[in-house]
Chain A
Amino acid sequence: MQIILQKVLPVFFEDDKVNNSQLWNSTLSFNKGENIHIIAPSGSGKTTLIHFLYGLRNDYKGNISYDSNDIKHFDAEKFSIWRRQHISIVFQDLRLFTEQTVLQNLEIKRMLSPFHAVNNIAAMAERLGIKSKLTKVCKTCSYGEQQRIAIIRALQQPFDFLLLDEPFSHLDELNRQKAMELMEEESKKRNATIILADLREITYFKSERTLHL
């Protein structure tokens, strides 16, 4: 799979934000297998870009295509197919089912298009130090724990692209590295691309390309 951006620019952006950007208003493509690191200060449209790429918003000029399919023409049904098989995400605002248990949060994603067996959930949770939280209601977990739940959830499905929007903002250094390691490992299993957007450079993320937004 390939994601192609052609002169993408949010409709609500002022011109001065665009001038120094390596992404906005440019034409570029992200190919399967090469990791992309997007570095951007606050307010430069990091989350907006990730949402554009995932198809949650379409208030932009230009085109974004999955392979040669312009996603502006996708309906909810078509998006659901791509999201089940080709593209996964860790949201900055996590988007978990707060009233359900951690396990329910992970299982609801896993059973949709299972990449792992159910017992792998516990193994991943153990690696990221949240195994004891699996039976707890999600809203009782700390933000850092919830961030790790969101990361594990994103790894339950097959994907060509893994979109990460500031995935470590509430994690300490050790947990960041563990989480990155797990994600890179899972990405390799699928020969997939990680597109990581963060405020600053993540040194332990092995990326082929770094782009400043």
Chain B
Amino acid sequence: MPSYKNIAPFLSAGQNNISRWLSYIGLGVGVLLLLSSIQMFININELLKDKNSRKDGADFISVTKTITNENMGKDNRFTEADLAEIKSLPFITDAAPLISNQFRVKASAGNIIPFSTDLFLESLDEKFLDTVPPSFTWREGQADVPIIFSSDFMEMYNVFAPSQDLPQLSDKTMSSVSIILECYTPYGVQNFKARIVALSDRINSVLVPNTFMQWANKNFGGVSQVNPSRIYIKTTDANSPQLLSFLEKKDYRVNKDKTKFGRVKQILQAIVSGLAGFGVLVILLAMLLFSFYLQLMIAKSKDNLQLLLTLGYSPDWLSKTVAKKWIPVYVIIVLSALLLTAILQFCFQHFVMYDREELSPFLHWIVVVVAAVLLVLSIITNYKLVRKLLYRLG
């Protein structure tokens, strides 16, 4: 069988070079835009991944009701219905209330640290705690109450301790300090020995075991059912737009730090997605321009192509042979765009991100796969177009 070289003189391919080159450049720019946008999208994900506060791939967020001038003085606690609604949402994995003490509590550290303060206690389902030591249990009759203390509170204490002539404490020392919990009951003050068994990075509170809280609220506060002022939610994505809009709609307040990255990420990803969309548009326009060039070339060579078909040339063979001519062109265009994306990624990692470890200087495999898919798609589209045009002649 003849080759493309044999039939090339019969096709007027030499003309209309401008639109051909424009379509090549357009395709290259489009592919480059798309590939670098995808790589940048992946980079943003890598850089803004919040690795520390996540447990089992989930985020834990404290939610309270926003206190405004209008609702001040009203009951701003969560009802059971509020909790049930939150639990039922698809983007929230679980939720649990933080139960607070319904009686007055005072804490003092004895003679070693002459310090005494009114205190609040809370209890939370253990599933929501980041550190739960085995000693964090309480049974009725037990005089010791284990406490999980917020790391932030600990830090605050150490900041103001020197000015109050109090000793600064390390994490380890903190656990050995015995605290006296003075619980004010209707029948007088009842003391418990408390000990800090763990520090929590996640929960800003003074936590006691659920069993203690329930017993104490019932016996000292006289209430068995308490509506919580804040609840903890577990979600797979603290930055999910649905979650953010739900919280906003309900006027619920969350720790903005938790969702701040999410907002930045959302904006950056939207920009990059926009760029990728623009890349796709440029690719489509370039393909359209190239299809015009092909149509024009085939229209100009119409008589010759028709005669080749009349003489016995197979339209299938002709389409494959003509289409094959552009395979090296497409390969060069896509590979150049891929190479350029790789160089950009390397420069971004090296010069802009100063070799940060969480970012690879090399292309992500998805980018390479997308490039391969684009290459195959261009070749198939081109072949189908040529075939359609040639069969129309036959």
Contacts and interface: CB of A to CB of B under 8 A. Distances in A.
Interface stretch (A22-30, A80-88, A177-185, A188-196): A80-88
A112 interface: yes
Interface of B: 1-2, 6-7, 9-10, 304, 307-317, 391, 394
Given A77-B316, A97-B10, A100-B9, A112 B310 contact: no
Contacts of A113: 312
7 contacts: A80-B315, A84-B312, A108-B2, A108-B6, A108-B10, A108-B311, A112-B311
Interface of A: 56, 75-77, 80-81, 83-84, 95, 97, 100, 104, 107-109, 111-113, 157
Interface centre among B1, B310, B312, B315 (most CB of A within 10 A): B312
Given A100-B10, A108-B7, A112-B2, A80 B314 contact: yes
B317 to A, nearest CB: 8
B142 to A, nearest CB: 90
A108 B313 CA distance: 10
A97 B315 contact: no
A49 to B, nearest CB: 17
Given A95-B307, A111-B2, A112-B2, A80 B9 contact: no
B2 A80 contact: no
Contacts, number: 49
Contacts of A111: 1-2, 6
Given A97-B304, A108-B2, A83 B10 contact: no
Contacts of B394: 75-76
Contacts of B1: 111-112
A81 B314 CA distance: 7
B314 A108 contact: no
A76 B309 contact: yes
Contacts of A84: 312, 314
Nearest to A157: B312
Contact of B391 (A76, A83, A95, A108): A76
B312 A83 contact: yes
B314 A77 contact: yes
Nearest to B10: A97
Contacts of A108: 2, 6-7, 10, 308, 311
A55 to B, nearest CB: 9
A109 B311 contact: yes
B57 to A, nearest CB: 56
Nearest to A101: B9
Contacts of A80: 309, 312-315, 317
